[in-house]
A and B are shown apart, each in its own frame.
Chain A
Amino acid sequence: MNADSDTIVGISTAPGAAGIAIVRISGTESLAIADQIIRCNRRISSLAGNNMAHGFVADGNDIDEVVVLVFKAPHSYTREDVVEIQGHGGSICARRILSAVLRHGARMAEPGEFTKRAFLNGRIDLVQAEAVIDLINAQSERAASSAIEQLEGKLSDYIRTCYDKMLTAAADLEYSLDFEEGDLGDDYFRKIAELVENVNVTLEEILNTWEEGVLLREGLKIVISGPPNAGKSTLLNGLLGRNRSIVSETPGTTRDTIEEQSVLEGIPVRYVDTAGLRDASCTVEQDGVRRAKESIATAGINIRVIDGSAPLEASQKPEEWPNADHWLIVLNKADLGLVMRKSDFPVNLRCVECCLHDETGIKTVRDALKVMINISTGSTMPHATISERHRAMIQYAQNELNECMILLKQRGEESAAEAAAALRRATEKVGEITGHFYTDDLLTKVFSRFCVGK
């Protein structure tokens, strides 16, 4: 749990909104932090309230050209000192600014925290309490689901492995403090130090792949699926503006999923073309269909391409559309005359009729996607924010692990208690990412590793 006295930061514009991105800092340290990261002809803290300045955000190298707005307590939204940094649009820039602010001591705002502070500091009328609460609820739901998305796959495996190793090291260290009264020998503590070092290397790797992997991890996943030969690959190529996937009149051309990154509405997206859905006979194709289904299940947005010029076999037309808001139906090959129409689908399903062979058809699909993106990503909790939260946590953990390691290497047993305190802070932080509770996990680990007691 975080304190209300911390200085907090968040991205306060919609991820896709064109033009500018606003990073908002609130709390006693906000002016000091702004002074450290903004290069400008005057110190930000010397500005009077309700003033603005032009400058560059720099943390090492220049990050972005920005306009900075300063509001001084109590004349601000939260009634604390607030600095708003307006950078160029796009989540990447906003994220870099955010990251610089975090490095200088602010912490990531929790969902709805700015508004909560405004309320707690008496800025917002009591009548509005309900609204504040709805906001917290809505945002925390979105944050939770995005966090899970974030942690899919490899990254979460890595972090979980790290947590487990940290817990093992902590258990060994705690055992030495809470149970063992005899001499464990220097080797015992050296081994713990090595384990901690090993975790630190993995965390470093995770951070290193952060930037390059960021699009892959964070891109909104848009999956194109449908019966064979419907025009899925044609759509992928159209959306990308280049020929990425093989198009042919033979059904079953695409046999594996094909992923490609792009940007739509200013946010990174990941298009996935899939194998046509049918009861395939050859194993390669069966595999492709299985993978297609997996992709559909994990998609942020699903596009179902259907050849509208021919009647659909019953088996191809699902009666139920779970998560109807995540689906876009594309009735393709309108140029051949449509025998299926929008009206053949449930009214709550988004559906377009078009010909993907021509540019206007592609545009129809793209426009429909833009509307969906703005709904699905919501306004203030971009994916970038969440990953930045994780990054800050991992960096914090790394610093603590370093301290732990140095203490153990230099003074072994004599510094075990201080080393354990650092390791605990690191493990708790990583546990926040994986959703673990330190003390309980720790004791379980100790008791499974050691035969303690008399």
Chain B
Amino acid sequence: MNFEIIVVGGGHAGCEAALAAARLGAKTVLITPKKETVARMPCNPSIGGIAKSHLVHELQALGGEIGRNADATGIQFRTLNTRKGPAVRATRIQCDKAAYSKRMLNVLETTPNLHIAEQLMTEFLIESNTVVGVIMDNGELLYSAAVIFCPGTSLGGTIHVGDVKEPGGGDGAPASHGITEQLRELGFRISRLKTGTPPRLDKVTIDYNAMEIQPGDYPPPLFSDPLELPSLFHVEHPETAQIPCFLTHTTAKTHEIIRSNLSRSSLYGGHIVGTGVRYCPSVEDKIVKFPNHASHHVFIEPEGVTSPLAYPNGISNSLPRDVQDALVASIPGLASARIIKYGYAIEYDYSDPTQLFPSLETKLIKGLFFAGQINGTTGYEEAAAQGFMAAINAVRMVRNQNPIILRRDEAYIGILIDDLVTKGTDEPYRMFTSRAERRLLLRQDNAQFRLCGRAGEIGVVDQAILKETNIAELRIATEIKRLNSLRVGSHSCLELLRRPEVKYGDLPCALNSLSGRLVCELENRVKYEGYIMRETKDAARMSGIESTLIPDSFDYVSTPSLRIEAREKFLRIRPRTLGQAVRIPGITPADISILAVFLRRHSASIRNQL
């Protein structure tokens, strides 16, 4: 069978990739072992959170599915960081785990140009360093011009519970074997990482009275525009049916149990070699590294409306089962809680992401793209962002168009990919707002506006929506002008609105016709104008080097004056712009000056040849 795009793996990266490719009109096939397990959430069933929410809003603006899927299947909706200014405000939606997969599958199945093959891929078909297709478990060959590989944690996956280990891809998925070996043979550098998940509890065996309740926010904050939300709801409408989370904590007894069983943990017992996540530590880690903390938070989160499971957020571990039982029982409210699934740690293979171009195409094999956890990231949102961009660029490659590379001052997606392909990572990479140089420009609230042009260029989002965004943009600009011209006493309305305590609605001249979203964006632009201008200016200063392209044909080898170390790094990373070259660890300003001079000579000599 022939396709334009093959997507391998129906996780968060794969689903976004398959949808984006098909929506751009490319004939696409998604290969995944079981339809029912697409977009599953092996860990915490929530989408968004600080910095991750920014990624989701950006995907929403560009035409991704993750935001809408979370909105439609959410059971608890919250805005985080409400008191800390718009740059770090974030949406977090607790989803019904089963509904999340089910709705995503429905979207996949109803998208034109998209086929699903319920198979495992076993081998890439490679001809002279170009991928031409894949072989599946049933022996069938599929051909295509590009393959997007999104296997998640299943490459060489090993699951650890205490000192017991077995192969597995996490959350019941099979481990993939043989593919790592083929990739190594092709020359890829592959290493190990690890992550873990807490036990799941039977929700009716929990005593919620001993815990603090955490209700959702009303009205529920969403990733997509409420008006656009499709009618397909697997979950009761949230406004009437949000489900609360609960807060409890570990005790001295919990810590004692863990401490005395450390040698039986697969982490501390020396069974695991992969690097773990510093910011999502296991409970063993927390107790060893922070011995002075008497107690740690544990959030009890429902996995769904009808699911019997509750997710105890905060006690991820890989201890033997009897220790997990004792550990859980030592937590207030969980004295008689029953564990349905035990916690575990998983070790898996990932490929050094500096082996990718910023388009996410591998440097070694033409037409082969990697997205998601295989690139060393962790998180559904990080995976979705890569899947989307890989698909866009795969389709563009097939159509002989230049790749679209989002800049760091334009989107967190740009930061994510630039960090990965420029610096690589040796621990699971997660997004933080502090990774952004110019955080005040990259608000979740303005994603739709700052990415409107890019969305047009990409072509997934409906033209009508982009037009509406442009109109909204105009309305904000007009309204700011109007506020500037109206006076109350000796001040203009604009000056009044700049004061921290004044809201748009407080102004005597406020219009009722502006939607909540526009009011929010307008307030941000007015109140933070000084800071935004400052960062815009800083970004503009750098736009020169950020837009200086380094042609792929650039010959570092016969650039003799470069330091050897610099030459090796340039050759390995093959930066696309001078700006990217600057960020390669160990590169000095002098290296960049020299590169700039040679680039100039290079382009002049090309001009002379023409």
Partner of A133, one of B50, B290, B597: B597
Taking CB atoms, residues of chain A closer than 8 Å to B475 are none
Taking CB atoms, residues of chain B closer than 8 Å to A136 are 590, 593-594, 597
Q: Is B24 an interface residue (CB 8 A)?
A: no
Interface string of B101-117 (1 = CB under 8 A from A): 00000000000000000
Contact A5 B541 (CB under 8 A): yes
Q: Which residue of A lies closest to B287 (CB)?
A: A451
C-alpha spacing A215/B375, complex, angstroms = 53
C-alpha spacing A130/B597, complex, angstroms = 9
With A133-B594, A439-B435 known as contacts, the answer to whether A181 contacts B81 (CB < 8 A) is yes
Contact B87 A417 (CB under 8 A): yes
Q: Is B177 an interface residue (CB 8 A)?
A: no
Interface size class of A (residues with CB under 8 A): 35 or more
Taking CB atoms, residues of chain B closer than 8 Å to A420 are 434, 439
With A437-B585, A447-B279 known as contacts, the answer to whether A3 contacts B528 (CB < 8 A) is no
Q: Which residue of A lies closest to B440 (CB)?
A: A421
Q: Which residue of A lies closest to B535 (CB)?
A: A421
Q: Which residue of B lies closest to A175 (CB)?
A: B434
Q: How far is the CB of A360 from chain B (nearest CB, A)?
A: 45
Taking CB atoms, residues of chain B closer than 8 Å to A176 are 84
Q: How far is the CB of B439 from chain A (nearest CB, A)?
A: 6
Segment touching A, from B167-175, B346-354, B598-606: B598-606
Q: Is B296 an interface residue (CB 8 A)?
A: yes
Q: Which residue of A lies closest to B578 (CB)?
A: A1
Q: How far is the CB of B430 from chain A (nearest CB, A)?
A: 9
Segment touching B, from A113-121, A225-233, A267-275, A333-341: A113-121
Q: Which residue of B lies closest to A5 (CB)?
A: B544
C-alpha spacing A413/B88, complex, angstroms = 12
Contact B500 A414 (CB under 8 A): yes
Q: How far is the CB of A431 from chain B (nearest CB, A)?
A: 13
Contact B544 A418 (CB under 8 A): no
Partner of A110, one of B86, B438, B589: B589
Q: How far is the CB of A140 from chain B (nearest CB, A)?
A: 4
Q: How far is the CB of B296 from chain A (nearest CB, A)?
A: 7
Taking CB atoms, residues of chain A closer than 8 Å to B307 are none
Q: Which residue of B lies closest to A141 (CB)?
A: B590
Q: How far is the CB of B597 from chain A (nearest CB, A)?
A: 6
Q: How far is the CB of B391 from chain A (nearest CB, A)?
A: 28
Q: Is A373 an interface residue (CB 8 A)?
A: no
Taking CB atoms, residues of chain B closer than 8 Å to A174 are 432, 434
Q: Which residue of A lies closest to B86 (CB)?
A: A417
Interface string of B303-326 (1 = CB under 8 A from A): 000000000011010000000000
Taking CB atoms, residues of chain A closer than 8 Å to B281 are 451-453
Interface string of B568-610 (1 = CB under 8 A from A): 0000000000010010010011101110111011001100000
Q: Is B141 an interface residue (CB 8 A)?
A: no
Contact B592 A1 (CB under 8 A): yes
- Chain A, range 110-138, C-beta contacts under 8 Å to B: 110-113, 116, 119-120, 126, 129-130, 132-134, 136-137
Interface size class of B (residues with CB under 8 A): 35 or more
Q: How far is the CB of B558 from chain A (nearest CB, A)?
A: 12
Interface string of A28-61 (1 = CB under 8 A from B): 0000000000000000000000000000000000
Taking CB atoms, residues of chain B closer than 8 Å to A424 are 437
C-alpha spacing A34/B280, complex, angstroms = 54
Contact A417 B582 (CB under 8 A): no
Taking CB atoms, residues of chain A closer than 8 Å to B440 are 417-418, 421
Contact B545 A3 (CB under 8 A): yes
Taking CB atoms, residues of chain A closer than 8 Å to B293 are 451
Contact B439 A417 (CB under 8 A): yes
C-alpha spacing A136/B561, complex, angstroms = 10
Contact B434 A413 (CB under 8 A): no
C-alpha spacing A179/B88, complex, angstroms = 10
Taking CB atoms, residues of chain B closer than 8 Å to A446 are 434
Taking CB atoms, residues of chain B closer than 8 Å to A6 are 541
Contact B87 A113 (CB under 8 A): no
C-alpha spacing A136/B590, complex, angstroms = 7
- Chain A, range 411-426, C-beta contacts under 8 Å to B: 411, 413-418, 420-421, 424
Q: Is A2 an interface residue (CB 8 A)?
A: yes
Contact A177 B589 (CB under 8 A): no
Q: How far is the CB of A146 from chain B (nearest CB, A)?
A: 14
Contact B439 A130 (CB under 8 A): no
Q: Which residue of A lies closest to B423 (CB)?
A: A440
Contact B80 A181 (CB under 8 A): yes
Contact B434 A443 (CB under 8 A): yes
Q: How far is the CB of B96 from chain A (nearest CB, A)?
A: 19
Contact A442 B434 (CB under 8 A): yes
Q: How far is the CB of A63 from chain B (nearest CB, A)?
A: 29
Contact A137 B535 (CB under 8 A): no
Taking CB atoms, residues of chain B closer than 8 Å to A437 are 585
Contact A129 B601 (CB under 8 A): yes
Contact B314 A454 (CB under 8 A): yes
Q: Is A178 an interface residue (CB 8 A)?
A: yes
Interface string of B493-519 (1 = CB under 8 A from A): 000000010000000000000000000
Taking CB atoms, residues of chain B closer than 8 Å to A415 are 85
Q: How far is the CB of A403 from chain B (nearest CB, A)?
A: 10
Q: Is A4 an interface residue (CB 8 A)?
A: yes
Q: Which residue of B lies closest to A134 (CB)?
A: B561
With A174-B434, A442-B434 known as contacts, the answer to whether A413 contacts B544 (CB < 8 A) is no
Q: Is B278 an interface residue (CB 8 A)?
A: yes
C-alpha spacing A177/B49, complex, angstroms = 11
Contact B88 A417 (CB under 8 A): yes
Partner of A177, one of B81, B438, B582, B605: B81
Taking CB atoms, residues of chain A closer than 8 Å to B278 are 443, 447, 452-453
Contact B597 A119 (CB under 8 A): yes
Contact B593 A112 (CB under 8 A): yes
C-alpha spacing A249/B434, complex, angstroms = 67
C-alpha spacing A131/B440, complex, angstroms = 43
- Chain A, range 423-444, C-beta contacts under 8 Å to B: 424, 437, 439, 442-443
Q: Is B557 an interface residue (CB 8 A)?
A: no
Partner of A421, one of B81, B314, B531, B582: B531
C-alpha spacing A446/B604, complex, angstroms = 47
Contact A453 B594 (CB under 8 A): no
Contact B604 A3 (CB under 8 A): no
C-alpha spacing A134/B289, complex, angstroms = 50
C-alpha spacing A351/B51, complex, angstroms = 66
Contact B44 A454 (CB under 8 A): yes
C-alpha spacing A446/B432, complex, angstroms = 12
With A140-B588, A451-B293 known as contacts, the answer to whether A413 contacts B545 (CB < 8 A) is no
Contact A451 B561 (CB under 8 A): no
- Chain A, range 74-117, C-beta contacts under 8 Å to B: 110-113, 116
Taking CB atoms, residues of chain B closer than 8 Å to A414 are 83-85, 500
C-alpha spacing A405/B535, complex, angstroms = 19
Interface string of B22-64 (1 = CB under 8 A from A): 0000000000000000000000100000110000000000000
Contact A178 B582 (CB under 8 A): no
Contact B590 A137 (CB under 8 A): yes
Q: Which residue of A lies closest to B437 (CB)?
A: A424
Q: Is B433 an interface residue (CB 8 A)?
A: yes
Q: How far is the CB of A311 from chain B (nearest CB, A)?
A: 47
Contact A177 B601 (CB under 8 A): no
Q: How far is the CB of B225 from chain A (nearest CB, A)?
A: 25
Taking CB atoms, residues of chain B closer than 8 Å to A140 are 588-590, 593
C-alpha spacing A320/B496, complex, angstroms = 77
Q: Which residue of B lies closest to A6 (CB)?
A: B541
Q: Which residue of B lies closest to A444 (CB)?
A: B278
7 residue pairs, one from A and one from B, having the closest CB atoms: A140-B590, A1-B582, A417-B87, A453-B280, A133-B561, A454-B313, A417-B85
7 contacts between A and B (CB under 8 A): A4-B544, A116-B593, A129-B597, A181-B80, A416-B85, A418-B87, A421-B535
Interface residues of A (CB under 8 A from B): 1-6, 110-113, 116, 119-120, 126, 129-130, 132-134, 136-137, 140, 174, 176-179, 181, 411, 413-418, 420-421, 424, 437, 439, 442-443, 446-447, 451-454
Given contacts A116-B593, A454-B280, 5 further A-B contacts (CB under 8 A): A137-B594, A416-B84, A417-B439, A418-B531, A420-B439
